[in-house]
């Protein structure tokens, strides 16, 4: 649990250094094409980029431990405020995606394991290869073309905040969520299938059948309950990857979330914003992993920390 | 349907097919027998005899690859091989119940014991939650579980093996079925626990007047519990009759062979050379495990404590004990697979207890071990020839000579040297254990440690491997350390015996003394619990 702190420190140092060794000068970009060398120099001074690297890092680190991620060069507002503005869209998308993925993939995986080797199992295995190999943007554009342009059922792109009403919020999230969930459905369904299949071979399944339980109860209460730990692990990894993966989807669907913010910040060489976002992503990553570890205790009483 | 005269179970001409590539046409062919109300019928056979297949056929639990080809299984007059799935589900647990061999794995590990009984009641009765709980506690009390109120909320891993088997029995009997099928229910248990569970089954059977089909490979258990006995061999019933008739006057040659192979409880009484040089001495050997959790410190476990033993050349020392007694810990310390916490291990007078791993090279050659499970102790991806010569090659023997040695050893363990090219999965359990012995001998050891080396084998194979080990000990004048939980096996091979309990040696002496005049309470309890102790088996 205390391991989270060194992880965050290492991320902070790496991000800071990487940004400064990659080409691209934020001062030059801010000043525009027509600016003179003196103007650029002036901007560099105001931003504090003329200081030696250790001093720059020291200032940033000191702000950071006080919970301040600095001010964006480009938007001229606090980075924490920027993240706060964009977080709802990203979290809505991630949440709907993972809920859709789990609701679809877990039952699919269980049925495939139950009918191991049958047509359904083979279909699911085929689908998961498809899900793994088709790039997100292809699925995205295909869905937009079919559902929004041809059939006109859903809006093409954009985002409506949840306080504008549940229905518009959902309407705008359905397509991006399905797009994003394809790969997670493939991943979680495969892990569920393998894990349930293993559990079905155990002695306690034979016991459950010998007790005269209906097959549905054998599958859910006995097989799935024992298969939960690997499934929860992969769902956790899924959530963490999703937060990072929204960069592409938010671009395709023009959703003003953290993914779009990241792309814009990188293009503008907006150092404080990039640093802040990456630190924030890694914090979520570490946090989700911690929650997954702690959840094992609930799913398997034999695990104790 | 059922009246007093209808047998609880009648199996008529049951044939269960094997898949095309099986080693015989049918897993079970043309088996017929009955179990009457209030009767315990023992189905005896070695592994592969089809006894578990019969049990599963009755319960309708056979996998799809093993279909019932013909015959009838009448449960109180109703043919369960032909009823619809839904009817079969209703019959399970209510009219026929089954308990299994492995209490460690037969219970769902993520469900409390109470819940596992509760779902049976919820499925088969219309009782209210409070009534179900009361019934669960009643049945836990009846199977003599301590503190039933607490065990209702316990998970299986918090209970001992014996307690888990009691939970299984409670689950099987909570609806008072007419038939109980017990598939080797005590095989995985310690001998004292086994005696208690057998007593419990007999007691419950009498009280409820059930018919019991008891499956076992152990004639000691048969002698203790059966009314009638059916002997199975390769899927056919070779002999069936009253217990005393079958055990004392077996007719079929296979039954005669099986009963003859059961080792007696009488020690062999061979003269032991008392002045032969000492090969192994341990002094106050101890192994302590300290178990520390992340947030809690959970005390220490003394797996072995103050163990002082010696073995001379040409002698076999047996360490006898139940699971958790520390017998395997001692064996593993002596071979230095684990590091002892305290004490000395002297091989030819040289203390190796604290030698660093690098310095153990010469000792490793002198001390070899054969493990319990021949299925898992050979690398499945190497030929048996490679497995045997790996050690000698590692000690510098040229390949040609090592192979020559392997061929000689294969002959010694009565196997064809031509099979050195084959892989372990192509052999039976007994053959694999012979290969393991040949592998150990290839190192030309002075001390051979056999850690439950015959425990996983069928009784007829066990007798052969024991004879082989005895022959080898005599021929090479080896010192042998024989770890076993089986008193009968110990009586056959050991010159001296150490009885271990809870990490300590409680009795240590000549086999004759220990077996014929045990002095410690624990040793006496062990002998009292040995199944079939009043029955004289085998040659003795």
DSSP H helix total and E strand total for chain B: 19, 20
Judging contacts by C-beta atoms under 8 Å, the chain A residues touching residue B75 are none
Model confidence over B79-135: pLDDT tens digits? 999 999 999 999 999 999 999 988 888 999 999 999 999 999 999 999 999 999 999
Same domain for A104 and A49, yes or no, is no
Phi, then psi, of B30 in degrees rounded to 5: 55, 45
Final residue belonging to a domain, choices A40, A65, A90: A65
Model confidence over B415-448: pLDDT tens digits? 999 889 999 988 888 889 999 999 999 999 999 9
Final residue belonging to a domain, choices A239, A259, A279: A259
Phi, then psi, of B53 in degrees rounded to 5: -65, -40
Residue A211 in any domain: the answer is: yes
Query: Are A211 and B171 in contact (CB < 8 Å)?
Result: yes
Q: How far apart are CA B487 and CA A103, in angstroms?
A: 56
Q: How far apart are CA A201 and CA A195, in angstroms?
A: 10
- Radius of gyration from C-alpha coordinates of chain B: 25
Residue A160 in any domain: the answer is: yes
Query: Are B506 and B520 a contacting pair, CB within 8 Å?
Result: yes
Residue A29 in any domain: the answer is: yes
Percent of chain B exceeding pLDDT 90 equals 58
Query: Are B89 and A214 in contact (CB < 8 Å)?
Result: yes
Better pLDDT: B275 or B13: B13
Query: Are B92 and A210 in contact (CB < 8 Å)?
Result: yes
| pLDDT, position A33 | 77
Q: ipTM value, please give it.
A: 0.80
| pLDDT, position B297 | 56
Same domain for A57 and A152, yes or no, is no
Model confidence over B137-170: pLDDT tens digits? 999 999 999 899 999 999 999 998 889 999 999 9
Same domain for A49 and A129, yes or no, is no
Could you count the other beta carbons within 10 Å of the beta carbon of residue A299?
15
Q: Average the pLDDT over B348-365 and give the result.
A: 88
Query: Are B486 and B407 a contacting pair, CB within 8 Å?
Result: no
Q: What is the pLDDT along chain A (305 residues), one digit of tens a residue?
A: 667 778 888 888 888 888 888 777 788 878 777 778 888 888 888 888 888 888 888 888 888 888 888 888 888 888 889 998 888 888 888 888 999 999 999 999 999 999 998 999 999 999 999 888 888 778 888 888 888 888 878 887 778 887 888 888 888 888 888 888 888 999 999 999 999 999 999 999 999 999 999 999 999 999 999 999 999 999 998 888 887 777 777 877 788 888 889 888 888 888 889 888 988 888 888 888 888 988 998 888 888 77
Q: How far apart are CA B319 and CA B327, in angstroms?
A: 6
Same domain for A55 and A138, yes or no, is no
| pLDDT, position B295 | 55
Judging contacts by C-beta atoms under 8 Å, the chain A residues touching residue B109 are 204, 226, 300-302
Same domain for A84 and A61, yes or no, is no
Question: Domain count of chain A?
Answer: 2
* Strands, E assignment, B39-126: 40-44, 68-75, 78-79, 96-99
Same domain for A102 and A52, yes or no, is no
Same domain for A160 and A43, yes or no, is no
Residue A27 in any domain: the answer is: yes
Query: Model confidence at B34, in pLDDT bands (50, 70, 90)?
Result: very high
Name all domains of chain B by residue range, CATH numbers in brackets: 9-109+179-260 (3.40.50.300), 278-529 (3.40.50.300)
Residue A286 in any domain: the answer is: no
Q: Average the pLDDT over B240-247 and give the result.
A: 92
Residue A161 in any domain: the answer is: yes
Residue A243 in any domain: the answer is: yes
Alpha helices in chain A (DSSP H): 4-21, 26-31, 37-47, 53-65, 79-114, 119-133, 136-143, 166-200, 203-210, 215-217, 225-226, 228-252, 258-267, 271-299
Same domain for A140 and A185, yes or no, is yes
Model confidence at B275: pLDDT above 60: yes
| pLDDT, position B296 | 56
Query: Model confidence at B504, in pLDDT bands (50, 70, 90)?
Result: very high
**Which of B108, B155, B158, B293 is most worth mutating to test chain A (most A CB atoms within 10 A of its CB)?**
B108
Query: Are B8 and B75 a contacting pair, CB within 8 Å?
Result: yes
Same domain for A46 and A175, yes or no, is no
Q: Could you tell me which chain A residue has the CA closest to the CA of B295? A: A305
Q: How far apart are CA B336 and CA B343, in angstroms?
A: 13
Q: What is the CATH number of the domain that holds A180?
A: 1.10.3720.10
> What residues make up the domain containing A197?
80-259
| pLDDT, position B438 | 93
Same domain for A226 and A129, yes or no, is yes
Same domain for A216 and A128, yes or no, is yes
Q: Could you tell me which chain B residue has the CA closest to the CA of A204? A: B106
Final residue belonging to a domain, choices A39, A65, A91: A65
Judging contacts by C-beta atoms under 8 Å, the chain B residues touching residue A217 are 119, 123
Whole-number average pLDDT of chain B: 89
**Which of B98, B106, B153, B184 is most worth mutating to test chain A (most A CB atoms within 10 A of its CB)?**
B106
Question: Which range has the worst mean pLDDT, A55-59, B179-183, B427-431, B533-537?
Answer: B533-537
Residue A150 in any domain: the answer is: yes
**C-alpha to C-alpha distances, B39 to A47, A76, B214, B293, nearest whole angstrom:** 93, 89, 10, 50
Q: Average the pLDDT over B443-464 and give the result.
A: 88
Which residues, including other chains, have CB under 8 Å from residue A159's CB and lie 6 or more apart?
Answer: A89, A92, A172, A173, A253, A254, A255, A256, A257
Same domain for A46 and A143, yes or no, is no
């Amino acid at each position: 649990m205390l391991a989270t702190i060194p992880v965050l420190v290492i991320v902070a140092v790496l991000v800071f250094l990487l940004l400064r060794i990659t080409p691209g000068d934020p001062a030059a970009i801010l000043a525009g094409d027509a600016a003179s060398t003196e103007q650029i120099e002036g901007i560099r001074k105001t931003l504090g980029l003329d200081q030696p690297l250790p001093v720059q890092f020291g200032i940033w680190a000191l702000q950071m431990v006080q919970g301040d991620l600095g001010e964006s060069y480009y938007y001229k507002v606090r980075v924490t405020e920027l993240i706060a503005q964009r977080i709802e869209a990203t979290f809505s998308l991630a949440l709907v995606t993972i809920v859709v993925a789990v609701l679809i993939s877990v039952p699919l995986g269980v049925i495939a394991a139950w009918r191991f080797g049958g047509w359904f199992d083979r279909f699911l295995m085929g689908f998961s290869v498809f899900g793994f190999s088709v790039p997100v943007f292809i699925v995205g554009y295909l869905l937009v073309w079919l559902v929004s342009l041809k059939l006109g059922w859903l809006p093409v792109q954009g985002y409506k905040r949840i306080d504008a009403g549940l229905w518009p919020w959902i309407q705008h999230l359905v397509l991006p969520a399905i797009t994003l969930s394809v790969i997670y459905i493939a991943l979680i369904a495969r892990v569920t299938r393998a894990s349930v299949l293993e559990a079905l071979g155990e002695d306690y399944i034979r016991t459950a059948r010998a007790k005269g339980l209906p097959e549905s109860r054998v599958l859910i209460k006995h097989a799935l309950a024992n298969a939960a730990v690997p499934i929860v692990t992969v769902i956790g990894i899924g959530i963490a990857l999703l937060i990072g993966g929204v960069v592409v989807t938010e671009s395709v669907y023009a959703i003003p979330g953290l993914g779009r913010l990241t792309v814009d910040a990188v293009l503008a060489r907006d150092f404080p914003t990039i640093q802040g976002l990456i630190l924030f992503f890694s914090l979520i990553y570490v946090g989700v992993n911690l929650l997954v570890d702690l959840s094992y205790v609930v799913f398997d009483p034999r695990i104790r920390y | 349907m059922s009246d007093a005269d209808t047998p609880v179970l009648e199996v008529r001409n049951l044939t269960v097919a094997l898949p095309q590539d099986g080693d015989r046409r049918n897993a079970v062919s043309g088996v017929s027998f009955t179990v009457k109300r209030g009767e315990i019928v023992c189905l005896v056979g070695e592994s592969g005899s089809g006894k578990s297949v019969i049990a599963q056929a009755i319960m309708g639990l056979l996998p799809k690859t093993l279909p019932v080809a013909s015959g009838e299984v009448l449960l109180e007059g109703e043919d369960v091989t032909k009823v619809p799935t839904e009817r079969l589900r209703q019959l399970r647990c209510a009219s026929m119940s089954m308990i299994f061999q492995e209490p460690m794995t037969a219970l769902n590990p993520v469900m409390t014991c109470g819940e596992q009984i509760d779902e049976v009641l919820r499925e088969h009765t219309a009782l209210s939650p409070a009534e179900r709980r009361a019934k669960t506690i009643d049945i836990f009390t009846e199977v003599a579980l301590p503190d039933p109120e607490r065990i209702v909320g316990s998970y299986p891993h918090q209970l001992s093996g014996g307690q888990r088997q009691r939970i299984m029995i409670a689950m099987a009997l909570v609806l008072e079925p007419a038939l109980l099928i017990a598939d080797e229910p005590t095989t995985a248990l310690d001998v004292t626990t086994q005696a208690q569970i057998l007593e419990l089954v007999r007691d419950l059977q009498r009280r409820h007047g059930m018919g019991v089909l008891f499956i076992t490979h152990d004639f000691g258990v048969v002698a203790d519990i059966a009314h009638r006995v059916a002997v199975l061999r390769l899927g056919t019933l070779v002999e069936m009759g009253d217990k005393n008739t079958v055990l004392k006057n077996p007719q079929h040659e296979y039954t005669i062979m099986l009963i003859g192979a059961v080792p007696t409880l009488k020690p062999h009484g061979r003269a032991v050379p008392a002045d032969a040089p000492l090969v192994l001495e341990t002094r106050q050997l101890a192994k302590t495990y300290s178990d520390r959790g992340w947030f809690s410190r959970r005390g220490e476990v003394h797996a072995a404590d103050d163990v002082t033993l010696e073995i001379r050349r040409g002698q076999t020392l047996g360490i006898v004990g139940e699971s958790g007694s520390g017998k395997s810990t001692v064996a593993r310390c002596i071979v230095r697979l684990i590091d002892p916490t305290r004490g000395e291990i002297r091989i030819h007078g040289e203390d190796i207890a604290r030698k660093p791993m690098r310095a153990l090279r010469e000792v490793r050659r002198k001390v070899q071990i054969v493990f319990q499970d021949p299925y898992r102790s050979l690398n499945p991806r190497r030929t048996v020839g490679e497995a045997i010569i790996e050690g000698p090659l590692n000690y510098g023997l040229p390949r040609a000579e090592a192979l020559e040695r392997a061929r000689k050893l294969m002959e010694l363990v009565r196997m064809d040297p031509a099979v050195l090219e084959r892989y372990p999965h192509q052999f039976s359990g007994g053959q694999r254990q012979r290969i393991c012995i040949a592998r150990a001998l290839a190192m030309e050891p002075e001390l051979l440690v056999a850690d439950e080396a015959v425990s996983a084998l069928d009784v007829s194979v066990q007798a052969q491997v024991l004879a082989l080990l005895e022959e080898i000990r005599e021929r090479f004048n080896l010192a042998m350390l024989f770890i076993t939980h089986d008193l009968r096996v110990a009586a056959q091979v050991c010159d001296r015996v150490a009885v271990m309990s809870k990490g300590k040696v409680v009795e240590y002496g000549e086999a004759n003394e220990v077996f014929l005049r045990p002095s410690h309470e624990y040793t006496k309890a062990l002998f009292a619990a040995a199944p079939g102790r009043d029955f004289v088996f085998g040659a003795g």
